[in-house]
Structure 1
């Protein structure tokens, strides 16, 4: 199978897409990557929609999407547009359509772009498995095409653009029955509609492949690009987004893991970050992701090109095969290393920066799901006994000078590794860059069963350089575990969250990485408390990236939609309330959806679901099965907890002594 999905895996080149003009704001080609978001107020609230749109534009939105769940909302788009234009706002409007072709056909005469979801535009989803013959499947496809054709003709006549937006969670029963819940099913769902557009000589199309699962999302976009090329279809622009990313830090990390991974390879022409927050908060995050690539080609240092086909399958997740060294590699989860080497001093209480909380009252450390597995202390080993389970990495010189302590593990450079035979018998760490992976070093690594590599780079094109190092290891048959290492220096925390999530998350998405360390050597000197705060944030970020990439689950995951005019309750308030009650349930995934459109399908892999089904009414799900219907909103969180209790998944929150420094 052809594995090519981007212009280059080593050189930053943006994929060229045909230009689609959307209300005078062109998309694709050499135009900038655009920012968009979606209103959250009721579409029938004309003034509210106008005011929110103006705030979104002020925040940086270049396109604004508004839901049109029925004909009446589609008609009101005209009034919203009139009032916006009267106030000097010419932002292109996008109508969001689910289930209602009539609304789409009306909206296409009013707005600059319509978004349709192939999974529910003229198809259906009732979670039924249907045994189609080839003939019956083809007949069903033709029925859908005929229902879709009028919209294509209207868009062509009015010069209206269209986004064919597949969502992982709303694939139709027909697609699921033939392709399963797969990236291929997502791609084929869109291509069925796209082929008809081309038959009608209509090319003002944008495509998207959204999912809440970042692995599925990335694989689907890559496969879409490959299929477009394989079938000789036009290189249509791509709209990037992770659905139901959530809120706050988790939502930003998850968005960056998915969107950033694609941007690194030059894919994407417009971005929407879906946060369970006010929509004007989304645009700055999208802009921060995009701006990283404005000068990427000029800033990037050359990376050795591939001398052979890509050794990975970019369309399916496979973790790189490694041998086990201590608790790295093999079947172990990726490990977190906290870099504490630059702390002015290190005492018991200071280990809170690595997620280990010390209680002076109990004189012991409290277990934490966000406790680092290792700490790196450089030239200054800790002067006290570490809590059970926490291990220490020190520089090779400190390890040697301290008498090669068995409970310290040395960090070596490439020169030391090649020239000095001193080793820890079980576990050694070797800091490397791509340039240092020469033939002699690779030959020695092939037979070393006690070394873990720490891959680092200072290249602006960081993720592709680290990925190229992995390719070199794969080509040489080296199976040592590898820790992904990045350091960013003094910049706002939110930017570090996005940058690290992109660079390291992009590797984890492809199964590359057995650990993570966010280095601190580029940070300016600061006082003890400032260091502790920074290190605590970096430790939390490390666990967040692993969770967002679906490689280590250390906390509750919330799959919460960003809200829109269809939402039937206050999503931000409800999400906060559910989080407050359930954030101690490690590894449980809870979907929080504002309406049935973003209901059981969109939270495809959630363990439990909380879905608005009417004013003040909630449906509760176990997986994709509705368990309780029309639960009063006032009781719904209690009922959700009771459902978990029945399943043996509920544990009470532990009340613990307040640790030092909390």
Structure 2
């Protein structure tokens, strides 16, 4: 396996070259920087300046501003002048799509320019072309001619450059040769990187963004592996595009960004939320905070001699089924309710089960947990048929749908076991112990894997790698220790830990351990959100919603909220909501339906990547979108509550 990080078991940042962005140093031994992007019209100097100040005061270390044309690029000088006059020296970054002339203007003004190799020198027509090698090389020379002038300007003015590949906007040329793949994303960046190096320019940052967290993580890993092979070590800008808003956006960002940070990858991050940009900064800071002293606080983890997992493509670990856990079953959600008195039907409402007294029936939500851990309690009523109850083995009642939880030592000693399903808590030392062979092939056991190491994900991964090495097909529930964490901390760090495993096909279920008495609803929704973000279990509508920027042609936050309110019951449907044509249709990636700004007050609607209706009035667009979903056969009416 090609290495993509310094170590899979010992936290250590991948050492990158230091890049100067104005007075800010990025990469090397510098802290992981946090940044965001303005949402104002770039031609509105004062609005952009004032929003930039709000971002800076929230902790933003790099401020990115869109420059879609020469006019906006030139106005960056006025924005920079006003910010400096007000005492703010934070570096500015120009965001460029399609317009090399705007990039060359901006590079003379701001400290950094971001270009997208998918559309800097190429027009996207969604055409597959069978290039000969000669044709392909001719295209590369054309790109060299268009891109080299910008490289020369950056060299002359000391301007940094980000080569920012996006999964949804790969050029037709890259798509034709490499497909819609992480390899295509990497090669897209490498083409531009080689041109920079040929011109002896190395003040470069690279990004590999996608809205699909599996693709995003694989692309960054493959990029680093490719750089290592080519003796390169450029700093990485991490981000998940179009993560969305609210809890879903935070979870999705943490899954993608956090997975890479866990392996020491990443020198700057941007959390892309469909919210005001200053709201992104606290989330970004909370994500990077654990890595400030990770190397000093982690407990040593045994090295993995031969890593049995391919980190560049998703393959779920092969397990056998124990009841409904493992094999081809979706990952299961276990909610910890041992501190909550389960004395009536209503207590299950918070985990997705709503009991109707008149009908004597349970209404089971799409996000109803699969198992409920109740500790030493006994449930005094008949439970739903789809819910399993986990009890401490010492009080296990041996009733239908009730299963015992053992420690590793207790299971070895116990003679009272379930003939169907036994949950056995294990740590890495337990799995490495010679007595684990008793469990290895026990078809009734599901391992509940836990760790108290500050480098939790790496220790859990090491444990599952050990199971793979010993060829055990025993299912694994991953348990996260959430004791003492705020809801925000738990949401981000559980997403990072679970996400880093699930994206590699490791884990047959998730369990958040907590002593909180009334947090079951939050924990349940968080775990389902993580499974959705990793694409391992779909339980609700997915929104691929870009963060607003100066190119946005409608109120993105209001529109997203409106669309969400009318479509959130469409389980498994993916809807892209893009503020302008730059972020759609390509950036919608694999959305089923798209709502894209095409002009002021005008919207175009897509099914997949095909435009179905062009330039319809924005006041009618949401209704038209719903009709399009109905025409496509994906609409269902909102279910009635019983």
Give the TM-score of the pair, scaled to structure 2.
Answer: 0.99
Q: State the Cα distance separating 1:446 from its structure 2 match.
A: 3.1
1:367 aligns with 2:361: no
8 Å contact 1:487–1:518 — kept in the other structure? yes
8 Å contact 2:342–2:379 — kept in the other structure? no
Distance 1:374 1:609 in 2: 36
Q: State the Cα distance separating 1:124 from its structure 2 match.
A: 2.1
SS for the counterpart of 1:597 is helix
1:647 aligns with 2:641: no
Q: Which moved more, 1:491-500 or 1:588-597?
A: 491-500
1:330 equivalent in structure 2: 327
SS for the counterpart of 2:380 is coil
1:443 equivalent in structure 2: 437
Q: 1:299 to 1:346 in 2, by over 3 A?
A: farther
8 Å contact 2:441–2:473 — kept in the other structure? no
The Cα offsets for residues 302-325 of structure 1, whole Å up to 9 and x where unpaired, read as: 11111x221111111111111111
Q: State the Cα distance separating 1:367 from its structure 2 match.
A: 1.8
Distance 2:301 2:293 in 1: 16
8 Å contact 1:442–1:473 — kept in the other structure? no
Q: State the Cα distance separating 1:146 from its structure 2 match.
A: 1.1
1:149 equivalent in structure 2: 148
Distance 2:57 2:140 in 1: 42
SS for the counterpart of 1:228 is helix
Q: State the Cα distance separating 1:499 from its structure 2 match.
A: 0.6
Q: State the Cα distance separating 1:299 from its structure 2 match.
A: 1.3
8 Å contact 1:3–1:313 — kept in the other structure? no
Q: State the Cα distance separating 1:353 from its structure 2 match.
A: 2.4
**Structure 2 counterparts to residues 104-115 of structure 1, below 5 A:** 104-115=103-114
Q: State the Cα distance separating 1:646 from its structure 2 match.
A: 1.1
The Cα offsets for residues 453-500 of structure 1, whole Å up to 9 and x where unpaired, read as: 100111111000000000110011111111110122233211111010
Instruction: Decide which of 384, 402, 410 is 1:387's aligned counterpart.
Output: 384
Q: State the Cα distance separating 1:439 from its structure 2 match.
A: 4.6
Distance 2:434 2:572 in 1: 43
Q: State the Cα distance separating 1:393 from its structure 2 match.
A: 1.1
Q: State the Cα distance separating 1:362 from its structure 2 match.
A: 3.4
SS for the counterpart of 2:549 is coil
**Structure 2 counterparts to residues 176-575 of structure 1, below 5 A:** 176-232=175-231, 234-306=232-304, 308-399=305-396, 402=397, 404-521=398-515, 523=516, 531-532=517-518, 534-575=519-560
SS for the counterpart of 2:604 is strand
Distance 2:342 2:438 in 1: 37
**Structure 2 counterparts to residues 124-139 of structure 1, below 5 A:** 124-139=123-138
Q: Which moved more, 1:647-656 or 1:627-636?
A: 647-656
Distance 2:341 2:444 in 1: 31
SS for the counterpart of 1:372 is coil
Distance 2:228 2:2 in 1: 11
Distance 2:447 2:378 in 1: 21
The Cα offsets for residues 41-63 of structure 1, whole Å up to 9 and x where unpaired, read as: 01000000000000000011000
Return 5+ residue gaps in structure 2 as ranges.
none
Distance 1:37 1:135 in 2: 41
The Cα offsets for residues 533-590 of structure 1, whole Å up to 9 and x where unpaired, read as: x111001101000000110000000000001000000000000000000000001000
Distance 1:442 1:72 in 2: 68
1:609 aligns with 2:609: no
8 Å contact 2:387–2:401 — kept in the other structure? no
SS for the counterpart of 1:8 is coil
Distance 1:327 1:344 in 2: 26
The Cα offsets for residues 65-110 of structure 1, whole Å up to 9 and x where unpaired, read as: 0000000000000000000000001010000000000000010000
2:71 equivalent in structure 1: 72
Q: Report the aligned-residue RMSD.
A: 1.1
Instruction: Decide which of 607, 611, 614 is 1:622's aligned counterpart.
Output: 607
8 Å contact 2:21–2:159 — kept in the other structure? yes
The Cα offsets for residues 505-529 of structure 1, whole Å up to 9 and x where unpaired, read as: 11101100110111114x4xxxxxx
Distance 1:298 1:27 in 2: 22
Distance 1:455 1:607 in 2: 36
